[in-house]
Amino acid sequence: MEKPLLEFTDRGIYCPPADVYLDPWKPVDRALISHGHADHSRPGHGRYITHHRNVPIIRHRLGDIRVSGREWGESFTVNGVRFSFHPAGHIIGSSQIRAEYRGEVWVFSGDYKTEDDGLATPYEPVRCHSFITECTFGLPAFKWRPQAEVLGDINAWWARNREGGKTSVLLAYSLGKAQRLLAGLDPDIGRIYTHGAIENMTEVLRPLAGFPETTRVTGETTREELRGNLVLAPPSAHGSTWMRRMVPYEVAAASGWMAFRGARRRRAVDRGFVLSDHCDWQGLLDSIRATGAERVICTHGYAHIFSRFLAENGYDARTEETQYEGETPENDTQVVT
């Protein structure tokens, strides 16, 4: 092909033959959306197409929008380009987007992880010629432990705090990470309380997954009610007046960045649990090999380092700039209430 099927423009990833965009960051007429995080599903588009499990998520986040949902692997054609959504394993409803035109196949991964977390539909590699991959944790230093081990550590931390008469405050993104943690918390230890932003999103997702009972923290919730129990809150709540009622408490963060020494200190938390909704280094490499792609385009994260490694190992690899943020505190834009 003289021109690539997918191009990087100032509005987002563009498919010229179909005149559609994939996860655009500026308003467009028609947008294919990989998942519901704020950096990938933005307001202002004329029409949204996504996986049907993502429809209630982006309606909750974006309000009254024109959106249609598709099933995994369901093909639909736009101006001769055949598209389909495939599981990305990142969060509930997250997809890779496959585009095929005149025998050329591209896959845009969005954000993805290879470990089955029990909530998101597990990641499935999709064969293609060109693969667009995130590189949020594209360094060899990132190697994730199994989810069950990390959740065991979190429950043990909560139990110790309960014995010491402290409230356990666990920081996690309102969409995705919070529900993953919630599904793995042991309700036999105590009661699970939630910040309003997390409770609102969890209510949207309850029809799609099984979660233990939660209690919303309100203005009437007392310090004694919270003592010894666990509170799930977004990162934006940390250091706010909202947390005063938690005293005495210990605060922990669940993030892939907790693998770095100093990350816990910079975020001023007592504990850090390494748990990410993105691939680690080996997960990225294994995924790319499984696609059979010869051309790999690396986006947000450690894109330049990861791209250089791929090029040294025989891939046609390059980087492209996007406005995707990966796993950062700013990714969770919920307002503290």
| Mean pLDDT within 195-224 | 95
Residues 6+ apart with CB under 8 A from 184: 118, 147, 148, 151, 154, 155
Give the mean pLDDT of 107-116: 98
Other Cβ atoms within 10 Å of 3 Cβ, number: 8
pLDDT in tens, 238-250: 988 999 989 999 9
Averaged pLDDT, 57-69: 97
Residues 313-326: pLDDT tens digits? 999 999 999 999 87
Return the residue matching tokens 């667009």.
132
Q: What are the b/e assignments for 93-102, b being 16+ CB within 10 Å?
A: bbbbbbbbbe
**Partner residues linked to 31 by β-bridges:** 21, 48
Per-residue pLDDT, 215: 98
CB 235 within 8 A of CB 212: no
Comparing 47-51, 308-312, 330-334, the range with the smallest average pLDDT is 330-334
Q: Residues 278-298: pLDDT tens digits?
A: 999 999 999 999 999 999 999
* Average pLDDT taken over every residue of the chain: 94
Tokens of 308: 């250089």
How confident is the model at residue 265, as a pLDDT?
A: 65
Q: Write the burial class of residue 163 (CB in 10 Å: 0-12 exposed, 13-18 middle, 19+ buried).
A: exposed
User: Amino acid letter at 93?
Assistant: G
pLDDT of residue 263: 65
pTM (two decimals):
0.94
Q: What is the number of other CB atoms lying within 10 angstroms of the CB of residue 261?
A: 8
